[in-house]
Amino acid sequence: MNEISMAQALNAALRDAVKDDDRVLIFGEDVGPLGGVFRVTDGITADFGEERCFDTPLAEAGIVGFAVGMAMGGFRPVVEMQFDAFAYPAFEQITSHVAKLRNRTRGALSLPMVIRIPYAGGIGGVEHHCDSSEAYYTHTPGLRVVTPGTPQDAYDLLRDAIDSPDPVIFLEPKCRYWAKEAVSFTRGKAPMDRAVVRRAGKDVTLLAYGPMVATALETAEAATAEGWDVEVVDLRSLNPFDDETVSASVRRTGRAVVVHEAAGFGGYGAEVVARVTEQCFHRLHAPVLRVTGLDIPYPPPKLERHQLPDVDRILDTIARLQWHDEPVVAGA
């Protein structure tokens, strides 16, 4: 197998879906002849025609509303929001209609559609181009929310998302678009709603997703110098959440750290901490901690490195996990 980038893996998934299912349509801003800002749809219009992959006006609410109608009519639309914060004008369509139509019609109608959103930072972009907006979507019942951390997962998850009978918010970590690995195009790997242990360890579990998976793995390697054997779990599916895999890992290690780029206050990691604490309380040797972005609007490019969790910040947090029993000082 040849190594390909995450963007190329996503392109391959879209091509295979269009080829395998006449109901799959791809549309959004500049996804046609240009191939998208990040070239994820490169060449698809040329190879399959404008009937299958086409440009839309710059109107995100209209793009998603049109996709709702197409899905109700039996198609499987895959739409792109050009950047994370560009999706906010479509938020009412997503929360009021995409997420609720199956419930509203008592199951008579479903919306098999995928909303692709390039998200998070690490590319030197400015605000409106680097939001980590996952908590908005995971808080909305009726939506599946997934995010790949590797090129292989990009292919697998996107194929599964397009096949899903439910609407899927597909969050693509922009800073990993150019990461490469050997990718198999064979179906039947880990189901879309399951987490995956990327690295086995016995001392502490790092829980990460999307852009932070690679950072967590880098941290795990660096942690060996400190004498820590770190397990890395890639959540993959943010909603529904794979309690079984996550809890099994934390029960083995007894310690856990959640890592994400989004702001800490009210962030997705808070839900993960709550679930792990509730289900693993009697097996924990220390409180579950978080390493997150700062509680500020996304900073300008020259300050971006201070916003993003890195190896040093994660190692510092692991060091706070009460590794030695210390006497309790009265009044402290």
Structure tokens at 231: 């397990």
| Distance (Å, whole) CA 81 – CA 28 | 7
| Distance (Å, whole) CA 24 – CA 76 | 5
22, with CB counted inside 10 A (0-12, 13-18, 19+), is exposed
| Distance (Å, whole) CA 155 – CA 148 | 9
Of the candidates 313, 312, 209, the one whose C-alpha atom is nearest the C-alpha of residue 262 is 209
Of the candidates 306, 301, 246, the one whose C-alpha atom is nearest the C-alpha of residue 277 is 246
* Helices 6-20 and 151-163: angle between axes, nearest 10 degrees: 30
| Distance (Å, whole) CA 54 – CA 63 | 11
- The set of residues, in sequence order, having a beta carbon less than 8 Å from that of 32 and lying 6+ positions away, is 41, 45, 50, 53, 54, 55
Q: Per the residue annotation, which of 129, 282, 285, 324 is the catalytic one?
A: 129
Known active-site residue 129: yes
Parallel, antiparallel or unpaired: strands 53-55 and 24-28: parallel
How many H-runs (helices) and E-runs (strands) does the chain carry? 12, 14
| Distance (Å, whole) CA 201 – CA 213 | 15
| Residues taking part in catalysis | 129
